[in-house]
Amino acid sequence: MADLKIGFIGLGLMGHGMASNILKKGYPLTVLGHRNRQPIDDLVSQGASEVDTAAELARGVDIVFLCLPGSNEVAQTLAGETGLLAGLHKGLVVIDCSTGDPNRTEELARQITERGGRYMDTPVNRTPKDAAAGRLNVLAGGDADLLELVRPVLECFSETIHHLGPVSSGHKAKVIHNFIALGNASILAEAFCTAAKTGVDLRAFADICGLSGGYSRTFERIIPFVLNGDDSQQQFALGNCEKDMRYYTQLTKLAPSTGIVAESVYQTFLLAKSLGHGEKFVPHLFDVLGEINGVRVRASEEGAP
């Protein structure tokens, strides 16, 4: 496995940490150039090679990782004269770590397998900090034997690897999980907005929630924004939340499965994006609800931006 050549496309907050760990574990790494030079230059300084097109990258590696915003970006990366499919060779493994639309995953996988490649959807859970530390949770969909083949590479950046079923199962599990986490964030933002507007001490209220049923991993990550303006614990853009919830609500329709709560959560993030907050991280949802309701959702002025 150490002789395998790895390619990586999508070096954002998560992808950079993942690619860096692959490189640190001794795998030859090739990355696709991008206008954001910081992560590219950092990896090249560590020994990675850089290419200009996805086709060129595909020709020179055994495994390609994709860590892109969503299925539209994956489709664009595959397509065209310089796209990944143009350089795909027989046996190339494409590992899609993007949070993709599970309703499109099988179609994208088919484009790869019809040309002799192999595909797995392996979105990841946790944060950019965990990506840098190699502590992500991998949600894998695809052939079990292929998973075992690529497991050593996945282990470079992961703490746990979970096989959810055939192709698209990873993407399904990811958006279902994100519904739970983002639904929780929506509830917390709405609840703390009501608490602020009715005069409840938010710091004392946060203490109570931290000791009882109001506590969760999402609470732990976003409440520091209310307490001291710290939005660094959940570095995920509100616009991406809208995209993920759109994927999930579409999944419920095709199942079909009830999506009563999901529609409300989706509309909350759509509203945040429509009001111009799409580039801000999840904790800023408190500001969105505060803006709508005419109240500042902060425990104190100290440390607030």
pLDDT in tens, 175-194: 999 999 999 999 999 999 99
* Confidence band for 304, pLDDT divided at 50, 70 and 90: very low
Per-residue pLDDT band at 114 (split at 50, 70, 90): very high
Judge whether residue 34 has pLDDT over 90.
Answer: no
Q: Residues 193-248: pLDDT tens digits?
A: 999 999 999 999 999 999 999 999 999 999 999 999 999 999 999 999 999 999 99
Mean pLDDT, range 158-185, rounded to an integer? 98
What is the average pLDDT across 60-85?
Answer: 97
Q: In CATH, which of 3.40.50.720, 1.10.357.10, 1.10.3720.10, 3.30.465.10 is domain 6-166? A: 3.40.50.720
Question: In this model, does residue 110 exceed pLDDT 50?
Answer: yes
Among 116, 117, 129, 120, smallest CA distance to 98 is for 120
Which class for 263: exposed (0-12), middle (13-18), buried (19 or more C-beta within 10 A)? middle
Residues involved in catalysis:
174
Cβ atoms 283, 231 nearer than 8 A? yes
pLDDT the model gives residue 113: 98
Chain centroid, CA 5 distance in Å: 24
pLDDT at residue 302 is higher than 80: no
26 phi-psi bin (left φ>0, alpha ψ -120 to 50, beta other): left
Q: Where are the alpha helices (DSSP H) in the chain?
A: 13-24, 37-45, 54-59, 71-78, 84-87, 102-113, 128-133, 144-154, 169-197, 202-210, 217-228, 238-254, 260-272, 285-293
What is the rounded average pLDDT of the residues 78-92?
A: 97
Least confident of 36-40, 82-86, 256-260: 36-40
**Angle at which helices 217-228 and 202-210 pack, to 10 degrees?**
160
pLDDT reported for residue 303: 42
pLDDT at 305 over 90: no
Per-residue pLDDT band for 259 (boundaries 50, 70, 90) equals very high
pLDDT at site 42: 96
Q: Using an 8 Å Cβ cutoff, are 50 and 44 in contact?
A: yes
Backbone angles phi, psi at 131, to 5 degrees: -60, -45
Radius of gyration from C-alpha coordinates of the chain: 20
Domain ranges of the chain: 6-166, 172-293
Phi, psi of 200 (to 5 degrees): -75, 140
pTM of the model: 0.93
pLDDT at residue number 301: 59
Pair 46, 163: CB distance under 8 Å:
no
172-293 folds as N-(1-d-carboxylethyl)-l-norvaline Dehydrogenase; domain 2 (1.10.1040)
CB neighbour list of residue 15: distance below 8 Å, 6 or more residues apart: 8, 39, 65, 67, 97, 131
What average pLDDT does range 2-25 have in this prediction?
A: 94
User: Which tokens belong to 62?
Assistant: 């055994």
Q: Residue 204 has which token pair? A: 């004392």
Mean pLDDT of all residues belonging to the chain: 95
